[in-house]
Amino acid sequence: MRILLTNDDGIHAPGLTALERIATALSDDVWICAPEYEQSGASRALTLADPIRVRRVGERRFSTTGTPTDCVMLGIHDLVEGAKPDLVLSGVNRGANLAEDVTMSGTVAGAIEAMALGVPGIALSQMGGYEHGDTYFQAAETFAPGIIKRLVEVGWPNDVVININFPNLPIAEIETVEVTRQGFRDVHVRHAEKRTDLRGRDYYWIGFRHERSKPAEGTDLRALYEGRISVTPLHIDLTHNASVNALKGVLGGPPPKV
């Protein structure tokens, strides 16, 4: 199995090193194309107004000045030599990618771009902050190879990506994998903090508050809160079908006039 790796934390991120160990447990044909610098929150951004520089940093290993989407596109079309990858793995992200955050996640976007180009994609993230040391990704490294192997064996639809989130717990305390649906927080966790630079000019730093919502059973949020590994099949059809049916009776036919 030929595997392409990417992330949104950058080519030097510890999570990418962890992902490489995960991938090499499954295959000896592993390629890497990741951003030169952190691209967290980049979502599916595509670099259109600037050139993308590519740097070879090792055998089957490249960094680019682009986004995770750029990296996967370049990796599949140009940088992986010979046959295209059989699988794209994106991550392991430092911090979970859950609920509404999946729409802005560069990690999830890497898997989505793979899907869009006809290659199965899996995004991997681990809950927690930046205070942990070298053992931070132990849960992902321990459990991801077996989960990925099983997923590849059974397969999933071509228009779906798999989003896996690992709890930040000791290995012995993680006992369950749960297939979940995407949740939605009932609290607002993003905020912008106003600061002042040394020249007296105001600027803002966007971050997250550590507040837990009260998610429903079966959601990705609930699984992580309760110490389970969450596996969520996602697709990018954002249509709300109930509203489509309701609006057809209101807006169907000739355009309304004021």
Query: CA quadruple 12, 14, 17, 22: dihedral positive or negative?
Result: negative
Q: Which residues contact 157 (CB under 8 A, 6 or more apart)?
A: 233, 235
* Cα atoms found within 13 Å of the Cα of residue 27, Cβ hemisphere only: 19
Q: Which residue has the tokens 């905020």?
A: 191
Q: What is the DSSP letter of 181?
A: B
Closest CA to 51 of 81, 74, 22: 74
Please list, residue by residue across 13-34, b when 16 or more beta carbons sit within 10 angstroms of its beta carbon and e when fewer do: bebbebbbebbeebeebbbbbb
Residue at 89: amino acid letter: L
Bridge partners of 175, per DSSP, are none
Question: Length of the chain, please?
Answer: 258
Strand (E) or helix (H) holding 229: strand 229-234
On whether 9 is known to bind a ligand per the annotation, the reply is: yes
Q: Are 33 and 71 in contact (CB under 8 A)?
A: yes
On whether 197 is known to bind a ligand per the annotation, the reply is: no
CA distance 206 to 152: 37
On whether 8 is known to bind a ligand per the annotation, the reply is: yes
On whether 93 is known to bind a ligand per the annotation, the reply is: yes
Residues marked as binding?
8-9, 40, 93
Binding residues for a divalent metal cation: 8-9, 40, 93
